[in-house]
Amino acid sequence: MNPLPITQAAVIVDPFSSGAQYAPEFASFGIATVAVSSLPTVPAAYADSWDPALHRRIHTFDGDLEQLVAALRPLSPRCVLAGAESGVELADRLTERLLPEQANVPALAAARRDKGAMAQALRAAGVPLIPQICTDDPEAVRAWIDREGLRGRDLVVKPPKSGSTDGVTRVPAGADWRIPFDAQLGRINQWHNLNDRMMVQEYAHGTEFVADTFSHQGRHTVADICRYEKTDNGGQMAVYKSLTWVAPDDPAVPELTRYAEDVLDAVGLRHGAAHIEIMLTAAGPRLIEINSRPHGGGHPAFNLTATGDSQVHRAARWFAEAEAAPKSYRLLQHMTILFLIARRTGTVSNTAALDGIKELPSCHHSAIRLRDGDRIEATRDLLGTLTLGFVVLTHPDPDQVARDTAAVRAMEAALVITPESVPADTGGPR
């Protein structure tokens, strides 16, 4: 019999990906969790992280908010938190109804999920951002490109309510932005949202970082700052290559921290975790997007090893014991996550080349499950990356991490991907 009380539970909306880590952490304080599912099914890339047994009760949202509120209110929940991107909007709505004192600014709810509203909120707050437009009208885009002097410049096209880089496309200078614009508009994306408009942005040059934060009562704290390395893969940009933890005394950290706090204030986020992707350009930091939930892919557990803390742990301490989080973080170990990339679609072989990864001195975790004969898709977005696999390297010596990084890439290069054969044209009747 489970001794944890069902009252004063922590409600987690879509507790998969990193959201799965909330339940055991709250349980360590003797607090049960209740799961709310906003999706009909868990995305395949995150299915392994979904464990119904972690939760005392599970509710599925069928579109009737009043019915869900009525079911949760008797539990007297102590918090409602989004576990994954798909749960952000519902978690906001439930908090406003059940725990108004913990609600983020209701009037800015759209800015915490929709990238078009996000940009409007930053403009209104005077926070610098990448030039961009969000519309379903290609003629409006064409006029905007001319008005901003962006003809002949690299652009980015992406849906305003996608996630995990789904549908993010770089349009090289001179290429037709209408092709990805028209292809994505009207499509249901991986998070079950209709792409009813599209974002078109100037392509920002610089170094991309992420600031992972936890806020309580409007006080913002930084749990970690990491540096991304991404690459193009055919027509797709923003394919993840690596993620490296940045020391808190790095010269970029104060500027990134101030900008992240400005973004949080602009979108009205006063409570909870956020994952803020920022491009540090020659003109200063510029927002790529803010996600009002923990950093995905299991990041909080890795961050615990790197820094001794995480967004999830800060949230549990606050909602369990009102323990205020430290404003910044420490770096206890150097850490890098390497993401495998499939350059083409086909059948993989020679996967034994990866066997040495677990023997590397800095190998902390390997999430690679490739087998000879597996069919793999060319990597296009983060969900594809997570399906293919990644390796976490950590060590007190940064040179060891660098050497093991080179070793992993050499093993990856030894994989063989045999492209799928194309049926020959027989020249017969059509």
pLDDT in tens, 400-411: 999 999 999 999
Tokens standing for 58?
């599970």
Q: Which residues, 6+ apart, have CB-to-CB distance to 222 below 8 Å?
A: 211, 212, 213, 257, 260, 327, 328, 329
For residue 160, what pLDDT band results from cuts at 50, 70 and 90?
confident
Query: What is the rounded distance in angstroms from the CA atom of residue 330 to the CA atom of residue 324?
Result: 16
Query: What is the rounded distance in angstroms from the CA atom of residue 125 to the CA atom of residue 169?
Result: 28
CATH classification of the domain holding 153 = 3.30.1490.20
pLDDT at position 428, please?
45
Whether 425 has a pLDDT exceeding 60, the answer reads no
Query: What is the rounded distance in angstroms from the CA atom of residue 43 to the CA atom of residue 39?
Result: 9
pLDDT at position 403, please?
98
Say which residue the tokens 């047994």 belong to. 53
Domain encompassing residue 43 = 10-103
Name the pTM for this structure: 0.90
Structural domain contains residue 1: no
The H or E element spanning position 419 is: strand 416-419
The lowest-confidence range among 29-38, 117-126, 147-156, 163-172 is 163-172
- List alpha helices for 280-374, DSSP H: 299-307, 311-321
| Mean pLDDT value across residues 351-365 | 96
Amino acid at 226: C
Percent of the chain with pLDDT over 90: 77
Residues 63, 163 within the same domain: no
Residue-wise pLDDT for 303-337, tens only, equals 999 999 999 999 999 999 999 999 999 999 999 99
| Residue of 179, 176, 175 lying closest to 167 (CA atoms) | 179
φ/ψ region of 268 (left if φ > 0, alpha if ψ in -120 to 50, else beta) reads left
| Mean pLDDT value across residues 56-61 | 96
For residue 430, what pLDDT band results from cuts at 50, 70 and 90?
very low
Structural domain contains residue 370: yes
Residues 328, 363 within the same domain: yes
Checking DSSP bridges between strand 57-60 and strand 33-37, what pairing results, if any? parallel
Structural domain contains residue 115: no
174, 202, 230 - which closes a domain:
202
CATH classification of the domain holding 359 = 3.30.470.20
User: Count of domains in the chain?
Assistant: 3
Residues 356, 380 within the same domain: yes
pLDDT at position 426, please?
47
pLDDT at position 184, please?
87
Residues 187, 71 within the same domain: no
Structural domain contains residue 342: yes
Query: What is the rounded distance in angstroms from the CA atom of residue 42 to the CA atom of residue 196?
Result: 23
